[in-house]
Amino acid sequence: MADTEDERYDFVVVANRLPVDRVVAHDGSPSWKPSPGGLVTALEPVMRANTGAWIGWTGVADDHQEPFDADGMHLVPVPLSAEAVELYYEGFSNDTIWPLYHDVIAQPTYSRRFWEAYVAVNRQFAEAAAAVAAEGGTVWVQDYQLQLVPRMLRELRPDLVIGFFNHIPFPAYGLFSQLPWRREIVEGLLGADLIGFQRRADAGNFLRAVRRIFHVQTARGQVELPAAGQGSWPNSMSDRPRTVVARHFPISIDAKAYVALVERQDVRDRAAQIRHDLGDPTTIMLGVDRLDYTKGIQHRFAAYAELLAEGKLDVDDTVLVQIASPSRERVETYKSLRDEIELTVGRVNGEYGTIAHSAINYLHHGYPREEMVALFLAADVMLVTALRDGMNLVAKEYVATRADDDGVLVLSEFAGAADELKQALLVNPHDIEGLKRAMLSAVHMSRAERRTRMRALRHRVLVHDVERWSKDFLDALAALRPTESARAAA
């Protein structure tokens, strides 16, 4: 709740992006649109339920906006200079941490300039949070762009209860230890009371990094921090002993919102229209991803092309629709990925397409949720073949949409969703033969088996929705709040 006198909030979310992005049209007129990625989808309903403040960037460099209210949320823009966007966002966040945390699928860049900008921008976010959080309030810091914020914020505001959630994987120590600033990152995170991860394995990797860097023991997901300056711990970590908990809290989606959309006749009509526009094929396969090298889009295309080459699939009755939404387009690795993918699409279509039918229907756009739901409804087979993915909410969105208990989900075991969605056809996307077998099984699966699998998947997603995720996290965080007597004694 807001204290109107000085605009302080009991509940504050800190994320790299605001839930809306500022877009400026060619004629210079500004407007707001939902910002990309799973984080916003996951947190928006939480924010609506708890009147609170959300601190983040508008997505535009050098954009100095006043705080404003939108859809029951108080939004506090953090301005980033063009240089900060280049070095902190495109650089350290998306050219160092992103590839490193996704198992070095692409080579991370270790640059001291990137690091310095990351420290400076994390401080900017920490100061913004310190300025709006009410006394004893709760601050929930999100994702890999802001790993130093928990510690910086604790130093500024020791009265706060601080949670951190890492939406992407946390790598094994053998990889994490490449990072020249590994110690600073772990110290940054340990400023939180509760650190949430997507998978049990991610929490395990983080705890191992703590043990290796600080030469301490951890037990049952807990790190016992001694008071200031003892042992190998940093001086300003805390003025009293503290317990930090690291656990997995698999994120989910607003499943009810998807169910509500499927019930809309216009959405169903659109699904039928999509099938018709594609030439009424027997099988529609679908991939929906940000255009990112972690998503295994090339592996999916390779398997599909081989099935066409071997005559096991035929473009006369099958089509693969690939939605690749534009992402991080100024980062070199993303630019070359786009070139590679578009070259592959051209080759596959040139080789196997006919006048009447393309093999791959490739769309480099983002679409509104209604259109996505219509596509999910139309898709007989959903292909999620990520090489590494924190969760992959698209897999859950597909399942939530299939109120008809139909459709087959092919899901990479390297996506966090695989820990929960066990009735999907689980694949190792590096194993092209295995991927081809799974795609064929999906195409030929009986209606009875499709129904049995989808029912079980839907049960999981409908029960474990995003509301449950945030409640689980925030309840666990509240349980760690020091009692008044402990505070007084400190």
Please give the residue ranges that form the binding site for ligand G6P (CB under 6 A): 16-17, 36-39, 143, 167-168, 327-328
CB of 448 to ligand G6P, least distance (A): 36
CB atoms within 10 A of CB 234: 16
CB of 168 to ligand G6P, least distance (A): 5
Our CB check for ligand G6P shows the closer of 77 and 407 to be: 77
Closest residue (Cβ) to ligand G6P? 37
Our CB check for ligand G6P shows the closer of 361 and 392 to be: 392
Which tokens hold the place of 276? 């018709």
CB of 385 to ligand G6P, least distance (A): 17
> What is the rounded distance in angstroms from the CA atom of residue 20 to the CA atom of residue 189?
26
Our CB check for ligand G6P shows the closer of 167 and 436 to be: 167
CB of 83 to ligand G6P, least distance (A): 17
Our CB check for ligand G6P shows the closer of 20 and 454 to be: 20
Our CB check for ligand G6P shows the closer of 36 and 136 to be: 36
CB of 55 to ligand G6P, least distance (A): 14
CB of 125 to ligand G6P, least distance (A): 13
Our CB check for ligand G6P shows the closer of 331 and 474 to be: 331
CB of 292 to ligand G6P, least distance (A): 8
CB of 17 to ligand G6P, least distance (A): 5
CB of 340 to ligand G6P, least distance (A): 20
Our CB check for ligand G6P shows the closer of 95 and 420 to be: 95
Our CB check for ligand G6P shows the closer of 38 and 137 to be: 38
Q: Which among 1, 134, 13, 138 has a CA at the least distance from the CA of 480?
A: 138
Say if CB 408 and CB 376 are below 8 A apart: no
Q: Which among 161, 164, 182 has a CA at the least distance from the CA of 173?
A: 182
Our CB check for ligand G6P shows the closer of 16 and 50 to be: 16
